[in-house]
Amino acid sequence: MACAGLGHRLAACLLNVSEARRKDIVDTVARAALYDQQGRRREGTAVLNIFNDHDYNRSVITIAAAIDKIGGAVLSACVKACELIDMRQHSGVHPCMGAVDLVPIYPLGESVGLEECGQEARGVAASLTERIPGTSVFHFGFADLPQRRGLVQRRKELGWFQQNPELSAIKADVGAAPGRRYGLTGVGAGPYVMNCNVTIDTRDLAVGHQVAAALRSTSPGGLPGVQVMALPHEGAVEIACNVESLEGRSEGREDWPSYDIRGQTYCYPPASLIAARVAQLAAQHGVATLGTALVGFTPQECRGLAERALRQGVAEFWREQREVHM
């Protein structure tokens, strides 16, 4: 059971693995975060959600634990994923490089620092490459010292967005030269990143690219903190958004949801605003939207559910949850 005040020291990892079509494998990876090799429960750890996408062939597993336990739980899940997922047999429309593609660690409690999460992330990277020879890792965010380069920058540098990236040309930060069996894994830390996907009613990917380009934060009139891809998805086009938390508040963000990390306020554009902006941009091309999905939770929801799961001692909390749709 959780002790009083545990919520102040919580962290989460939204573990991205390159498998969704074999849900038994994904569930096995999730359970590896919760139980050791002898089947004993890791106290103070819960899996809050598993989001599977068949077309992407990608799953996001939300692992929550106290900051001093998160690294061990995430490492065990990563090891199991590498044992079970072979990138030589992978296919899917979502860009990816690794069997374990992304390992971001975020603070949930206000007394957990970004540097602490970065330290845990670096520990996971080092231990993974030791436990599974042949694995390769790049760092991002607060695990990337001293530069603290963001995930998008690191992915661009490494060719992650390319259709067929040349692994042999990539120099990993930790571990072996990337190979086809395990690929390349990104491990890092930072303020919480929410995933929000909006489906538009067209098969024309060119329209999707135009909507994505106008929406992303680097474009004039784009939404701050929003990184975007347009991908074919279930007979339509999905505008897939990574929604970053932004430090501080400014004009135009007064009503955005917010939370604190070590006394510093962070905020992010709400899913309703992203959906409305996508609808507006798509309408300029005569296209309607079909729906919006959160891949997991907002930062506040994640913390609240983590506290509930740990307080009640429910490790496999995802079995009680449904995907969050808006």
- DSSP letter at 47 equals E
For the chain, the average pLDDT equals 93
Instruction: Show the domains of the chain with their CATH numbers.
Output: 6-191+299-319 (3.30.990.10), 193-294 (3.30.70.670)
Counting residues of the chain whose pLDDT is more than 70, the rounded percentage is: 96
Residue 321, pLDDT score:
67
Longest dimension (CA), the chain: 57
Average pLDDT over residues 15-39: 96
Residues 284-298: b if buried by 16+ CB within 10 A, e if exposed: eeebebbebbbbbbb
Residue 239, pLDDT score:
98
The helix/strand/coil state of 8 is helix
Q: Which residue has the tokens 């983590």?
A: 306
Note the helical H segments in the chain: 23-32, 67-84, 114-131, 151-158, 205-215, 271-283, 299-312
CB of 125 closer than 8 Å to CB of 173: yes
- The β-bridge partners of 10 are 66
Alpha carbon 273 to chain centroid, angstroms: 20
Residue 1, pLDDT score:
37
Q: Between 6 and 236, where is the model more confident?
A: 236
**DSSP string across 102-150:** EEEEEE-STT--HHHHHHHHHHHHHHHHHHSTT-EEEEEETTSTTT---
Write out the two tokens for 233.
């998805």
Residue 2, pLDDT score:
40
The CA-atom distances, in angstroms, between 273 and each of 25, 232, 243, 269, 292 are 35, 22, 11, 7, 11
Residue 160, pLDDT score:
87
pLDDT exceeds 50 at position 46: yes
Residue 8, pLDDT score:
77
Question: In the structure, how many helices (H) and strands (E) does the chain have?
Answer: 7, 15
Write out the two tokens for 304.
């609240």
pLDDT exceeds 80 at position 40: yes
Residue 109, pLDDT score:
87
Model pLDDT for residues 224-267, shown as the tens digit of each residue: 999 999 999 999 999 999 999 999 988 888 899 999 999 999 99
Residue 326, pLDDT score:
30
Residue 299, pLDDT score:
95
The burial class, CB within 10 Å (0-12 / 13-18 / 19+), for 254 is: exposed
Write out the two tokens for 135.
């694995």
Distance CA(153)–CA(247), nearest Å, equals: 18
pLDDT exceeds 90 at position 325: no
Distance CA(126)–CA(119), nearest Å, equals: 11
Cis peptide before 146 (omega within 30 of 0): yes
Model pLDDT for residues 76-109, shown as the tens digit of each residue: 999 999 999 999 999 999 999 999 999 999 999 8
The helix/strand/coil state of 85 is coil
Model pLDDT for residues 285-300, shown as the tens digit of each residue: 999 999 998 888 999 9
Distance CA(54)–CA(44), nearest Å, equals: 31
Write out the two tokens for 189.
């830390």
Model pLDDT for residues 60-74, shown as the tens digit of each residue: 999 999 999 999 999
pLDDT exceeds 90 at position 5: no
Residue 4, pLDDT score:
43
Relative to beta strand 236-244, strand 258-261 is: unpaired
Distance CA(121)–CA(47), nearest Å, equals: 18
